[in-house]
Amino acid sequence: MSQISYKDAGVDIDAGNSFVENIKPLVKSTKIPGVIGGIGSFAGAFELPKGFKEPVMLAATDGVGTKLKLAIDSGIHHTVGIDLVAMCVNDLICNFGTPSFFLDYYATGKLDVTIATNVVAGIAEGCKRSECALIGGETAEMPGMYSEDDYDLAGFAVGVAEKSEMDRVSLVQAGHKLIALPSSGLHSNGFSLARKVLFEKMKLDFNEDFNGKPLIQTLLEPTNIYVKTFKSLKNEIVAMAHITGGGIIENLPRVLPEHLRAEVKKESVKVLPIFELIAQHVDEDEMYRAFNMGVGMILVVDEKDVDTVLNKTDGYLIGEIKEGPREAVMI
């Protein structure tokens, strides 16, 4: 009677071991003070940072959405890992948490060591841009669950905040100014709509020239990471809103108390060309609900600190906090 191996069933343990060896130097490159041990144990370890009076651990998890489909179809795998880290750490800093470490989950139908290594290289790069450590993860080869060419990603960021600094909503007041930090593009939201418009409706292809480079490069431009900006301007920032799915309209109210509204001047928003292209076939209101429109993060800033923030960032004024029901409106 012939015997069936795990490899015959579609899972290659040797490929998995080879992958682990490939990523060891990538993981090591993200090491920061606080990391205990290396990969290979059953859990990653990180020492609680010192200097906090009442430290609170914060955690955020996210994925990359259907941006992964474009990475897979185009064969460009080294940037979506940056997106994965960005979507998690950009949420953490909105609660005034400083990212400490990151974990990833990579699932695929058949492990391609080269592709998986490129993905993790992107994750490591995202961690370095976030000044946090990649201390572990999970790679799952699941034939029958995914097609051989597909993979999925999830990320988990953990950080630490001072308990007294976490409640930003109560600090927001009428008269505070709104400063937009530019996005690099779509970031990691709205890709299902973008793909439908660009590739089904407009019949464009990946190599279509767009502003002097292939369209796919613009679409896969990694999400901006705002951790260093947060660290350098923490004392000048009242509150922060990460502009992801739902756009400005749905994310900005998350930092407002019940009696205040955010008024955003639509004419002040520096809309990126990629959104202007998509908007040829999408209503404006839908555009502002599905996409960031060129605004990756919004800072709520006291008027006295506006010049400092503008001088230290590439941000620009887009509105103000006023009395009224809790909402964000485009005027």
Per-residue pLDDT of the chain (331 residues; tens, 9 = 90+): 678 766 756 667 778 788 888 889 898 999 999 999 877 778 889 998 888 999 999 999 999 999 999 999 999 999 999 999 999 999 999 999 999 999 999 999 999 999 999 999 999 999 999 999 999 999 999 998 988 889 999 999 999 999 999 999 999 999 999 999 999 999 999 999 999 999 999 999 999 999 999 999 999 999 999 999 999 999 999 999 999 999 999 999 999 999 999 999 999 999 999 999 999 999 999 999 999 999 999 999 999 999 999 999 999 999 999 999 999 999 9
Task: Tell me how long the chain is.
Answer: 331
Residue 113: other Cβ atoms inside 10 A: 18
**Closest Cα partner for 327 from 247, 249, 238?**
249
Which runs of consecutive H residues, i.e. helices, occur in the chain?
13-28, 67-74, 80-94, 113-130, 191-195, 215-219, 227-233, 247-251, 273-278, 284-290, 306-312
Q: Cα–Cα distance between 210 and 212 in angstroms, integer?
A: 5
Query: Is residue 93 within 8 Å of 165, Cβ to Cβ?
Result: no
Q: Order of strands across the sheet with 316-323?
A: 239-242, 295-301, 177-182, 316-323, 260-264, 327-330
| Residue position matching structure tokens 């590439």 | 314
What are the pLDDT digits (tens) for 310-320?
A: 999 999 999 99
* CATH for 13-165, options being 3.40.630.30, 3.10.110.10, 3.40.50.300, 3.30.1330.10: 3.30.1330.10
For the domain made up of 169-330, the CATH class stated in words is alpha beta
Q: What is the DSSP string of 4-21?
A: --TTTTT--HHHHHHHHH
Rounded-to-integer distance, Cα 329 and Cα 331, Å: 6
What is the b/e burial string over 269-307, where b = at least 16 CB atoms within 10 angstroms of the residue's CB? bebbebbebbbeebeeeebbbbbbbbbbbbbbbbeebbe
Report the half-sphere exposure of 302 (CA within 13 A, side-chain side): 10
Q: What pTM value is reported for the model? A: 0.95
Phi, psi of 140 (to 5 degrees): -120, 120
Query: Where along the chain do its domains lie?
Result: 13-165, 169-330
Given the structure tokens 């060419």, which residue do they identify? 149
